[in-house]
Amino acid sequence: MKSALASRESEHKKNAMTTLGCSRVVAGMWRVREWQMSSAELNRFVRESVESGVTTFDHADIYGAGEVEALFGEALRDTPSLRATIQIVSKAGIRPRGASPAGVGVKHYDTSRAYLQAAVERSLQRLKTDYLDLFLIHRPDFLADDDEIADTAQRLLEQGKIRAFGVSNYSTRQFESLRSRIDLATNQIEFSPFELGALEGDLFPALSSANVAPMIWSALGGGRLFSENDEAAARLRATLNSVAQTCGASCWLPIVYAWIFRLPCAPYVLVGSRRMESLRYAVEGLGIALEREDWYAILEAARGRPVL
C-alpha cells in the first residue's frame, strides 16, 4: 500500500501538501463521536491507518462541538510517538448556535483575527499538540478582510502554531484574492462524479496554475453512489464495475478514487469512515492509473450523456 502512495506521489511536482508530508488519502474525522470508539480503539485506528499509508487526519473545531478533536487528542496521548508520524488538519470559521466555546445566538462565519487565533489555541489544547500541520478557513466569510486573514495566518506560522495555511469551500475568485496576500496550501472542496462544478468551471485549472493541490470531500457523492433507487447511481456503478474488471480492481469503489486521482491537479481525497477497508479502497485507487477512455466513460455515465 505504501509503495502505491509513494509511486503516485512522485509523479507530481512538489507542492505545499507534499512538503508537509500529507498522504494523498486523508482520514476524515468528522464522525468520530458517532463511532463511539474508546480511546484505545481510536488509537488503534490511527496506528492502522498509518500502517496502510494514510498519515493525514482531517478535523474542524465544529465537529462534535470540539469533542472530536478532544477524543483524538486523548487517543494520541496513549502513544505520544504517533504525533511525529502524522499530519493534523483542522478548520475554523463557522460559529454555530449553542453553548460551546464557539457558540453564538445566530449561526455565522467569523474570520476575524481574534476568533481565528482563539480557535487555533482551542484546537491545540483539545488535540494535545503544539502545532497544526495545516489550518484552513472552513467556509468563506462574507465579511472577510483578506488582509487581516493573511496577517493572522502569517503570525500563526511565525509562532509555529501552524505549519501551513489554506482554505475550504472557496470559489476561484475568493481563492485567488486571498492567495495574492499569502501562500495557500490547499482548497478543500466538494467533488464527485455527481458534483462536477470544480471540473466544469475554472477552479481546478486555477489551482493547477498555482501549483496548489485540492483536498476533496464527499468523493462518493454523500453516499448517493450506493443508492439502489437512483437510476443515475445504478448506471454509474455498472460502468465502474466494468472498468474495475478491466483494471483487476477488488471492486468498483477503488475506481471512483482512481477517477479522481487521475485529475492533473493532483488531488488529495478525504475518506470519512471507521472501516479500514474503506481507507484501503481509496489507497488501492491511488495505485490505479485509468486509461483516458475509461475516465471519460465514467464521466459519461455520471452525466448521462457523452461529451460534446
Contacts of 269 by beta carbon, 8 Å cutoff, 6+ apart: 24, 25, 26, 215, 216, 219, 257, 260, 261, 282
**Confidence at residue 304, expressed as pLDDT on a 0 to 100 scale:** 95
Identify the CA nearest to 170 among candidates 204, 133, 124. 204
Q: Are 150 and 180 in contact (CB under 8 A)?
A: no
Low-confidence stretches of the chain (pLDDT < 70) are 1-13, 99-102
**Confidence at residue 10, expressed as pLDDT on a 0 to 100 scale:** 47
The model's pTM:
0.94
115 is catalytic: no
Task: Give pLDDT tens digits for 81-125.
Answer: 999 999 999 999 999 988 666 678 999 999 999 999 999 999 999
Q: Where are the domains of the chain?
A: 14-226+266-273
Name the CATH superfamily, with its identifier, for domain 14-226+266-273. Answer: NADP-dependent oxidoreductase domain (3.20.20.100)
Integer Cα distance of 92 and 75 in angstroms: 22
**Confidence at residue 104, expressed as pLDDT on a 0 to 100 scale:** 85
Q: Which of 63, 257, 268, 281 is catalytic?
A: 63
**Confidence at residue 232, expressed as pLDDT on a 0 to 100 scale:** 95
The neighbouring-strand residues paired with 168 are 188
**Confidence at residue 94, expressed as pLDDT on a 0 to 100 scale:** 96
Residue type, 113: R
**Confidence at residue 12, expressed as pLDDT on a 0 to 100 scale:** 52
Integer Cα distance of 21 and 132 in angstroms: 13
Mean pLDDT of the chain: 94
